[in-house]
Amino acid sequence: KTTRDLGDLRGKRVLVRSDLNVPLDGSTITDDGRIRASAPTIKGLADAGARVIVCAHLGRPKGTPEAKYSLVPVAKRLGEVLGTDVVFADDTVGDDAKAKAAALQDGQVLLLENLRFNAGETAKSDDERAEFARELASLADVFVSDGFGVVHRKQASVYDVARLLPHATGDLVSTEVDVLRRLTKDPERPYAVVLGGAKVSDKLGVIGNLLGTADRLLVGGGMLFTFLAAQGLEVGKSLLEADQVDTVKGYLDRAEKEGVEIVLPVDIVVADSFSADAAHDVVAADAIPSDRMGLDIGPESSRLFAEKLADCRTVFWNGPMGAFEMAPFAAGTKALAQSLVDITAKGALTVVGGGDSAAAVRQLGFEDSDFGHISTGGGASLEYLEGKELPGLTVLEEGDA
């Protein structure tokens, strides 16, 4: 069900779960992509006359309030994006939230304080979660699930609350699922997946599944060194997950058997230390000195990746190619983003997934509209591509309570 199926919303209290988990530097939001992506659903409901109660999490507090995880800066930014005042409740289901939810007028928006200030939100115990979900549900008449970035979490505001209230899928979740479905069901070929980011261990499931669907797998970021090690190469002081080398070797063998081309960088930007002013140069991928660490893919690799992507009709990219937050190590990520922009202009479907990659492309000066789709989901989009069941989506298919 979509929000259109909820009927006349005028005067109704609608609880919306959004993913407003944005990166902060102190109280400054460094990438507001998730707020901008969440705003249309909230605005649509408010414009329809609903009394909108938004709930969300920030970071990973452990069930009690912590000032640094407060959603206060998010409320301010959400108000700016919506172009309307957002009422803020200092608690999630306490007296302030109850009073403010009760006082809401048609078309007004209330944001509740961080869901994860309540142990029940993320509790393992079904009963504990259900109890918190009941308190949340008591604030509203209907529930709209729009936090795509959390649909892989079996948490009170994602899963349990949908079993207590009439519910609908928000437009952001619908759009995300539609795009990701196009990647898994008969993608236009050639279909390439580009994976980066620090740890290969976070991506094993998705790599395993992609070996059955993708035509090419391009690997960059910190995880590439475990791939180089699996080929018997020295990686110096680069990030290496020694306990994953055998698994990666297995993947390389499987890829060969299944006809999936694995493309690894041929040159690497190496530095003395993990810092922006470290001395650095470019070396061949098979000649990383023992006392240096790789912090980006080199220019030859960027050219090779561009070549491998040029004829692709579908590309999914997750994870930066290097330590892009430091200018000397941003070129690989920037070049890769440009390759995606180029093929998007030629009509390919390009999907950027994961908070870091999305923040990276914006920080490097690209616009969201340069790509086919920028997913708000990090773990959620990877688990979707892994073929896993996502509790926040399956519960919506169960129908109303």
**Count of residues touching ligand 3PG (by CB under 6 A):** 9
CA gap 215, 232 in Å, rounded = 24
Tell me which of 355, 377, 378, 392 is the catalytic residue. 355
- Asked if residue 153 binds ligand 3PG (CB under 6 A), the reply is yes
CA distances to 70, 76, 360 from 58, in Å: 7, 14, 20
Beta strands in 146-243 (DSSP E): 167-169, 191-195, 216-219
Which among 127-135, 146-154, 221-229, 333-341 is the span making contact with ligand 3PG, rule CB under 6 A?
A: 146-154
Residue 116 marked ligand-binding: yes
Residue closer to ligand 3PG by CB (options 12, 154) is: 154
Q: Please, which of residues 47-86 interact with ligand 3PG by CB under 6 A?
A: 60
Residue closer to ligand 3PG by CB (options 222, 354) is: 354
CA distances to 56, 127, 388 from 152, in Å: 15, 19, 9
Chosen residue from 379, 383, 384, 391 binding ligand 3PG by CB under 6 A = 379
Catalytic residue at 303? no
CA gap 233, 237 in Å, rounded = 13
- Asked if residue 124 binds ligand 3PG (CB under 6 A), the reply is no
Interaction pattern, residues 181-220, with ligand 3PG; x per rule: CB under 6 A: ----------------------------------------
CA gap 161, 401 in Å, rounded = 10
3-state secondary structure of 353: strand
Catalytic residue at 94? no
Ordered alpha helix ranges (H), 275-390: 299-310, 331-345, 355-363, 379-386
Give the count of alpha carbons within 13 A of 118, CB side only. Answer: 26
Chosen residue from 18, 21, 114, 375 binding ligand 3PG by CB under 6 A = 21
Residue closer to ligand 3PG by CB (options 146, 296) is: 146
**Bridging pattern class, strands 109-111 and 51-55:** parallel
Least separation, in Å, of the C-beta of 385 and ligand 3PG?
Answer: 14
Joined tokens for residue 20: 């407003």
Binding-site sequence positions: 19-21, 34, 57-60, 116, 153, 203, 294, 325, 354-357
Q: What is the contact surface with ligand 3PG in residues (CB under 6 A)?
A: 19, 21, 60, 149-150, 153, 355, 378-379
> Which sequence positions are flagged as catalytic?
34, 199, 355, 379
